[in-house]
Structure 1
């Protein structure tokens, strides 16, 4: 484990349109102690060709190729396996980081002495137009808080491997990041947020978050099958999730 190094995990599938912008947002970080582990999930487009061009220029960027298409949970977990850093961060292949993201967040984690941190983030359209909307999460959450609403955007999360070891995502088609935050909060009392947008989330027209019914199904599965919560309690927490979305949308 390299002290101070941030291992950035990026699953890649059909990311040809956006992966260059995502990598550029990492290259422009003011914090230079990172490695970017991109995991190709057998993408049928030219994503790998674009990635390999960047690898020639910067050896901090690495590409792992899965043998068969396995989904983002498997891809991210493979990246976690290969990670050599003290910290693990997540950045999807269509999202962006602001230049001071890592510098500010690592400093914040050191000051807070915390296991898991996250930040506010902005949103943009699929075409890359900023929507002038900021998602401001709660600044301190416990395991029970998170069951009621997932305050942590995957593109903003960083956890400290040195404090808790490597923790992996549950193998579920969607909401695997939510499952990881819950697993981490079983190991620490609180996760802490930064009240500043340090990343930009791209809203894709075909994303699962655009289908609210499907999203609730994955929430229910996560609660009952992976968190071992009873059906009655799962519906209780689903109700909280719905209420929170209605209040803050």
Structure 2
């Protein structure tokens, strides 16, 4: 089975861009229509991929399997018998990736055609950067823009400052170096905080972050997406992360108390109010 992109764009290939592997995970709640669009957006990249890895995290819908079957020979499918969660599934995919540069993609989002090209250009211009994401535009279940953008800080210093209170990296838009992720033990299980916890541990080791200051990915945001950001279990995960940062001198006690207060309110408020908070305080207009 070949996992190479059959697309031939001589202009882009002649630029000698670094080779990269796309890493995606699908599971039982993913929808076929969204997955099909997500995959199509990666095949439409102006710089073709060298490898496309999709980890099937346990049982999936027949319609989702049908979408994957359509791409046999063009993607590398890795199947897990049981659902192990996003972090463990991505670790499994990383083990099978042949390239140092990994481009993350979620199964229900859409990458703009020049997403990878612009991120590769950034990494070529700033080679010290090891983890790079970008701004994302939120879309609804119909693929229509909500008019909101999740804008991230740009410099390593600004990212470090935000990390104390919020996740400063958009996981669906991230590109990173495989060796760097593996050096800190990869993703670790922490309910809905697998990526955030990874960034914290990477910062602790002095790795360099960056964000491209423009929208490169459209992220699907639904009522279910908001519900996943609520509840006692999520607050417990946040508390674990706060304590980690405190005990590893990544935040002060004052910052710890403030962060705990913010997350207690955020995870316990009703969905309609949480939606308003995101719209008014945590997002910018397109």
Q: Which residue in 1 is equivalent to 2:218?
A: 200
Structure 2, unaligned stretches of length 5 or more? 1-16, 267-276
Q: Which residue in 1 is equivalent to 2:177?
A: 160
Shift in alpha-carbon separation, 1:224–1:156, aligned structure 2, 3 A: same
Q: CA deviation at 1:239?
A: 4.6
Q: 1:13 aligns with which of 20, 27, 30?
A: 27
- The structure 1 segments of at least 4 consecutive aligned residues displaced by more than 6 Å after TM superposition are 240-246
- Asked if the contact 1:123/1:202 (under 8 Å) is kept, the reply is yes
Q: Which has the higher strand share?
A: 1
Which of 1 and 2 has greater Rg?
Answer: 2
* CA deviation vs aligned residue, 1:105-154 (integer Å, no higher than 9, x gap): 01101111111111111010122211122221111245454122212111
Q: Distance in 2 between matches of 1:115 and 1:29?
A: 21
Q: Which residue in 1 is equivalent to 2:282?
A: 248
Correspondences of 1:19-38 after superposition (within 5 Å): 19-38=35-54
Q: Which residue in 1 is equivalent to 2:69?
A: 52
Shift in alpha-carbon separation, 1:181–1:121, aligned structure 2, 3 A: same
The aligned length equals 244
1:188 counterpart SS class: coil
Range with greater deviation from structure 2 (130-139 or 143-152): 143-152
Q: Does 1:172 align with 2:190?
A: yes
Q: Distance in 2 between matches of 1:12 and 1:79?
A: 12
Q: Which residue in 1 is equivalent to 2:239?
A: 220
Q: Distance in 1 between matches of 2:181 and 2:141?
A: 36
Structure 1, unaligned stretches of length 5 or more? none
1:55 counterpart SS class: coil
Q: Does 1:92 align with 2:109?
A: no
With normalisation by structure 1, the TM-score equals 0.85
Q: 2:57 aligns with which of 41, 46, 56?
A: 41
Shift in alpha-carbon separation, 1:95–1:111, aligned structure 2, 3 A: same
2:100 counterpart SS class: strand
Q: Which residue in 1 is equivalent to 2:121?
A: 107
- Asked if the contact 1:4/1:85 (under 8 Å) is kept, the reply is no
